[in-house]
Structure 1
Amino acid sequence: MTTTVSNKPSAPRVLAVLVAVITVFGALLADFVIPASAAQHLRNDAWPPHAKFHDAQYISMSILLGAVALTLLLRRGGGSRSRVWTACAILATPWLGLLAAMLFPGTAVHDPEFADIRIIGLHPQVLLALILLALLAVAVALRARQRN
């Protein structure tokens, strides 16, 4: 018996694609392109070259992981349970890494020369990571409930 996998958009797939697009473009825009936030990252003259290297590494990694996830999700059969789950695991990687980085000694989510902006008590990057991880968890849970 063969199983056919629909290529039509499903809620889990749409959620994962949304997170993938944000993952592809988010760090690049925030850390390099948008002047106000880039001044706190790659365009921060106070940062040593090695710190800028690691931010560029994170930007590149996010683009690559998002692109791999998009490839899994947008190809024929991208709505299959295994593809959605794999894409969600891949997409969770940079966002879990962002949260885990706060656990290392001497790290901070913002440099002291910049205002410590908070939204509902959280730094915007942390809030975004939690929202995107929640969307991925919803996508996985919804996909688990579907038959195919």
Structure 2
Amino acid sequence: MLGNILLSISALGQILGPFIADFNETHVMNPRWPPHARFHNGQTMSMGLALGLSSLYYAFRPTANVIVKQESIKTAAVFGTLYWVTGLSAILYPGSKGMDPEFGEGFPQFWMFSIFALCSLMGSYLETRQLKSQTPKVE
């Protein structure tokens, strides 16, 4: 149960976070942004939505088969970490910064992205561990 809660926290962060953080004057409404930058921001926001919904689907996918459920939870974790890992890696590209200079400095996304990724990974670990205890032993 705790595992699915952690997976859900990460998924909801992916679904809502980009729209909360980016649909304002720092990103989508920034008059200095060229249209192609807005295109890629929209792509990223939609990707977060799609990955979060996919993660929720696999986390709560109904199945009576414990082995299939374990694989679904692992798939939920993959979908649940992709957005956060790619967000963390974005700072490595030449000329990339966590914020436009007019809005501040630093990489404020680091901790949030790391925590959400860990929620997904820890949720998967806890949920699959619980499911393994329900797996029948083969002799």
Q: Which category of TM-score, normalised to the shorter sequence, fits these structures?
A: 0.7 to 0.9
For structure 1, which runs of at least 5 residues remain unmatched after alignment? Answer: 1-9, 33-37
Aligned-pair identity in percent equals 31
Give the aligned length: 129
Partner residue in 2 for 1:3: none
Partner secondary structure for residue 92 of structure 2: coil
In 2, Cα distance between equivalents of 1:137 and 1:70:
14
**Partner letter of residue 12 of structure 1?**
G
- Superposition CA RMSD, Å: 1.8
Question: Normalised by the size of structure 1, how large is the TM-score?
Answer: 0.80
In 2, Cα distance between equivalents of 1:110 and 1:103:
14
- 1:115-134 per-residue CA deviation (whole Å, 9 max, x = no partner) reads 22x6xxxx332111011111
Q: Structure 2 residue aligned with 1:81, among 70, 77, 92?
A: 70
In 1, Cα distance between equivalents of 2:63 and 2:25:
41
Partner residue in 2 for 1:103: 92
Kept in 1, the 8 Å contact 2:7–2:76? The answer is yes
Larger RCO, structure (CA 8 Å, separation 6 or more):
2
2:58 pairs with 1:67: no
**Partner letter of residue 14 of structure 1?**
I
Q: Structure 2 residue aligned with 1:18, among 9, 13, 33?
A: 9
Kept in 1, the 8 Å contact 2:58–2:76? The answer is yes
Partner secondary structure for residue 102 of structure 1: helix
2:122 pairs with 1:138: yes
Listed as ranges, the matches of 1:3-42 within 5 Å are 10-32=1-23, 38-42=24-28
For structure 2, which runs of at least 5 residues remain unmatched after alignment? Answer: 135-139
**Partner letter of residue 83 of structure 2?**
P
**Partner letter of residue 137 of structure 1?**
L
Q: Structure 2 residue aligned with 1:55, among 31, 41, 48?
A: 41
Stretch moving more, 70-79 or 129-138: 70-79
CA, structure 1 residues 25+40, in 2 after alignment: closer, same or farther (shift >3 Å)? same
Give the drift of 1:57.
0.4
Kept in 2, the 8 Å contact 1:12–1:84? The answer is no
Deviating beyond 4 angstroms after TM superposition, the runs of 4 or more aligned structure 1 residues are: none
Q: Structure 2 residue aligned with 1:44, among 6, 17, 30?
A: 30
Partner secondary structure for residue 113 of structure 1: helix
